[in-house]
Amino acid sequence: MTVLVPGIEGRSACTEERLLIVGLGLIGGSLAAALRSSGFNGQIVACDPNADEVALGKEMGLIDSGGTELAELLENVSMAVLAVPVLAMESVMKTLAGSLSAAAPNVVITDVGSTKATVRECAEAVFGCVPSNMVLGHPIAGSEKSGVSAANPSLYLNHKVILTPEPDVLLDALVRVKTLWQACGAEVLQMSVERHDQVLARTSHLPHLLAFSLVDTLARQDERLDIFRYAAGGFRDFTRIAGSDPVMWRDIFIANRDAVLSSLDDFEAGLARLRQAIECGDSDALIATFDRASHARHYFDTLLNKTSYQAEYHMQPHGKVTYRVRPGGQAQGRLRVPGDKSMSHRSIMLGALAEGVTEVKGFLEGEDSLATLQAFREMGVAIEGPHQGRVTIHGVGMHGLKPPAGPLYVGNSGTAMRLFAGLLAGQAFDSELTGDESLTKRPMGRVADPLRLMGVAIDTAEGGRPPLKIHGGAALKGIDYDMPMASAQVKSCLLLAGMYAEGETRVREPAPTRDHTERMLNGFGYPVSREGDTCWLQGGGKLTAGTIDVPSDISSATFFLVAAAITPGADITLEHVGINPTRIGVINILTLMGADLTLENEREVGGEPVADIRIRYAPLNGIDIPVEQVPLAIDEFPALFIAAANARGTTRLRGAEELRVKESDRIQAMADGLATLGVEHTVVEDGIDIIGNGNDQVPSYGGGRIDSLGDHRIAMAFAIAALRAGDDIIIEDCANVATSFPDFVALVQRIGMSINVGGDNV
Ligand code: S3P
């Protein structure tokens, strides 16, 4: 009797096959067991040199028939799975080649070998080339147990199977092999033979080698010291795989020699660095390595658990996150929203380049700022934390960064990419900056062009888009630059590059933009001057570490300011919010619209003004938004559009073309969403007119399904809109809310709204 395994039961789509498993060990036996569990009712035949294994396979109900002579078992076989050790492949293939005529006409051959180049070579030696009905593959699953008695129907469930098909493979063969593994509950991937062997050398073969080696080394000493007796959990965890099948692993190391040796070289170099650090008592180097490793390990966990973490963007698209927000609800309470994103990025950047140790409080643990933090770790900076917003950065000085091993990934963040561009332009090494899909569409010419004027060699992809390749070692010279757009990111990029340039770097802005870079540089003892619309600094200075207290982000607070502004009876206080004069456009605009908003407990924290903002409901009126307020509220417009949709009369925005090149085209994305809700509006190139219903109509608008286009602020704005909607608002593609506001949903619930988070069918 076969037990059905939940997760694979009923998956089988290959009941027509007559399957021959060559080699009925753990891997072959588990394949049979998994197929049986999935409801497969085709024939399973097995061939194994050990007659007892075949008999046991039959007794366990895994196979229908079998034997020890391959040539005798091929009749009518439609698919053969070669589950023998890699070094035995050649002789198996020879037998197959001699007797294949007995098999069904469209027979498919596949294998489970742990190295692929050797198996491909075997096929080439035996058949002249890899036959087009042969699909090489490798299930990434195993156990230190062996033999058919250890067959496990769940062995492949949620594991990966890598197929390495040749370019001329028959599509039918590829699909059938894929279906076979999917029926076992596996996730099937494809890659080239070469890549497979390199990846496996690093992720599987090397750790096995280390485990074998460590246990063997200690076992020899054990003869004298009896130390296994005292070995605890760490030893057990690290060495579990040393119990694996010696013959199989001998074959793997011989078969994948070159890739294993190259991964071993890298490992030995790393070990030598650690040895040296221990020898010299270099605690910074030890912390840097362990910290990087520890974070990489957490990242690995989140990948496995498919939870969100900044670096997950690197490897795979986010799982879909959808919000369903019920109409109505309340807007009440005292809240503290997370730390300011702009300041969090800058705190890490300047802290890393400073001399001494910088302590940061209130750091935003969102995916974007975590990506910045990780990028500095990859450049050799020791960073402790974040632990509840606290980060300790062991600065390496202006010239202490190390070349990263690969491209630096900055996630969704235009700020990070543009600021990094300036900072990396001053380094002696080459670097590359990449980001997620949304960032890849955003314009980088605005920083690449002026950096080139400073003497930087920088390449972009077509149309000035990411990735950015920065050639290090250039002699930078200061420039006097009139920014064509009001951009704090461009200004900051040039000031950071200016620190490495000869002479003075001056930047003129067409309208005031956020000045956190200037304030923080001054705070780190690097003088930046300002007169009117121009700021400047001299190259060649240095930064001195200090403490940074990051206030709450007014851009995140905005969603709750608007929530209270549109909800009758609302009363919300947001604590410890940064109210830097270059950021308070939203306060000015809401006040002009008639919002009842007061600043309490105003104070200065670490060079930045901070206050608690209290906002109570009062009816809003449409206004013409003063154009000088636009750069001061640039990130707040998605939420302000919702305020406008609830105001009496028309709100008119102009001079906001920059909104079109944010994480999405925010004018169009908001207009599309407003259209879904039934809010009247007219879009123009640099703005929008929104005709609000005021309180004349309750609800103000309907509900519907909105595409946030992966833009965090579009998603959050429409979530808040539900307070005055007549029906549910369903918002798609919300995973990126975690880039700036990881606990948004919890706070939305806290003020009295009902929001559910789920996948596609929330
Ligand atoms: C930012 C500047 C602004 C803003 C962004 C953060 C910064 O961008 O939209 O979210 O931290 O310097 P621009 O400089 O492109 O206006």
Assigned architecture for domain 199-281: Orthogonal Bundle (1.10)
Residue 70: what residue type? L
pLDDT tens digits along 648-664:
999 999 999 999 999 99
- The SS3 assignment for 159 reads coil
Calpha distance 401→380 (Å, rounded): 6
Residue nearest to atom 13 of ligand 1 (CA): 487
Please report the pLDDT score of residue 300 as a whole number: 64
Superfamily of domain 11-191: NAD(P)-binding Rossmann-like Domain (3.40.50.720)
pLDDT tens digits along 111-162:
999 899 999 999 999 999 999 999 999 999 877 777 899 999 999 998 999 9
Residues with CB under 6 A from ligand 1: 342, 415, 487-489, 492, 514, 634-635, 658
Residue nearest to atom 16 of ligand 1 (CA): 487
**Which stretches of 291-397 are assigned E, i.e. beta strand?**
322-325, 332-335, 357-361, 382-387, 390-394
Distance 353 CA to ligand 1 centre (A): 21
Phi-psi region of 663 (alpha: psi -120 to 50; beta: other; left: phi over 0): alpha
Contact 407, 434 (CB under 8 A): yes
Residue nearest to atom 15 of ligand 1 (CA): 487
Q: Which of 186-190, 339-343, 475-479 has the lowest mean pLDDT?
A: 186-190
Q: Please give the number of the atom of ligand 1 that sits closest to the Cα of 345.
A: 11
Q: Catalytic residue positions?
A: 635
Distance 342 CA to ligand 1 centre (A): 7
Please report the pLDDT score of residue 344 as a whole number: 97
Neighbour tally for 316: CB within 10 Å: 9
Distance 63 CA to ligand 1 centre (A): 64
Q: Please give the number of the atom of ligand 1 that sits closest to the Cα of 517.
A: 12
Q: Exposure of 636 by Cβ count < 10 A (0-12 exposed, 13-18 middle, 19+ buried)?
A: buried
Token pair in block for residue 109: 């051959």
Quickly state the pLDDT bin for 286 (edges 50, 70, 90).
confident
Distance 453 CA to ligand 1 centre (A): 22
Please report the pLDDT score of residue 317 as a whole number: 42
Calpha distance 616→595 (Å, rounded): 8
Quickly state the pLDDT bin for 222 (edges 50, 70, 90).
low
| Element of type H or E holding 531 | strand 529-531
Domains 322-335+551-758 and 341-545 fall in the same CATH topology: yes
Please report the pLDDT score of residue 293 as a whole number: 83
pLDDT tens digits along 403-445:
988 899 999 999 999 999 999 999 999 999 999 889 999 999 9
Calpha distance 58→84 (Å, rounded): 19
Q: Please give the number of the atom of ligand 1 that sits closest to the Cα of 490.
A: 14
Please report the pLDDT score of residue 294 as a whole number: 80
Contact 243, 144 (CB under 8 A): yes
Nearest Cα residue to 331 out of 648, 748, 755, 757? 748
Q: Which pairing describes strands 431-434 and 408-409: parallel, antiparallel, or unpaired? A: parallel
Q: What is the CATH number of domain 341-545?
A: 3.65.10.10
Q: Please give the number of the atom of ligand 1 that sits closest to the Cα of 661.
A: 15
Nearest Cα residue to 164 out of 199, 198, 189? 189
Nearest Cα residue to 635 out of 519, 714, 517? 714
Q: Exposure of 729 by Cβ count < 10 A (0-12 exposed, 13-18 middle, 19+ buried)?
A: buried
Percent of the chain residues past pLDDT 70, beyond the cut: 94
The sign of the CA dihedral 592, 332, 575, 367 is negative
Calpha distance 218→224 (Å, rounded): 10
CATH number for the 322-335+551-758 domain, one of 3.30.365.10, 3.40.50.300, 2.60.40.10, 3.65.10.10? 3.65.10.10
Which residue from 342, 550, 580, 660 has its CB within 8 A of the most atoms of ligand 1, so it is best to mutate?
342
pLDDT tens digits along 695-724:
777 899 999 999 999 999 999 999 999 999
Nearest Cα residue to 617 out of 562, 691, 577, 579? 562
Calpha distance 296→302 (Å, rounded): 10
Token pair in block for residue 23: 């080699």
Contact 507, 494 (CB under 8 A): yes
Instruction: Label each residue of 616-653 as H, E or C.
Output: ECCCCECCECCHHHCHHHCCCHHHHHHHHHCCEEEEEE
Helix axes 488-498, 516-523, angle to 10 degrees: 30
Residues in CB range of 1: below 8 A, 6 or more apart: 61
Which residue from 439, 487, 741 has its CB within 8 A of the most atoms of ligand 1, so it is best to mutate?
487
Most confident of 170-184, 238-252, 292-306: 170-184
Distance 543 CA to ligand 1 centre (A): 23
pLDDT tens digits along 574-614:
999 999 999 999 999 999 999 999 999 999 988 899 999 99
pLDDT tens digits along 13-52:
556 789 999 999 899 999 999 999 988 878 999 999 999 9
Distance 558 CA to ligand 1 centre (A): 16
Contact 559, 750 (CB under 8 A): no
Which residue from 415, 513, 518 has its CB within 8 A of the most atoms of ligand 1, so it is best to mutate?
415
Q: What is the mean pLDDT of residues 359-368?
A: 94
Q: Where are the domains of the chain?
A: 11-191, 199-281, 322-335+551-758, 341-545
Quickly state the pLDDT bin for 6 (edges 50, 70, 90).
low
Q: Please give the number of the atom of ligand 1 that sits closest to the Cα of 487.
A: 14
Please report the pLDDT score of residue 312 as a whole number: 35
Distance 372 CA to ligand 1 centre (A): 15
Quickly state the pLDDT bin for 299 (edges 50, 70, 90).
low
394-428 per-residue burial string, b: 16 or more CB within 10 A, e: under 16:
bbbebeebeebeebbbbbbbbbbbbbbbbbbbbbe
Residue nearest to atom 4 of ligand 1 (CA): 635
Q: Please give the number of the atom of ligand 1 that sits closest to the Cα of 419.
A: 12
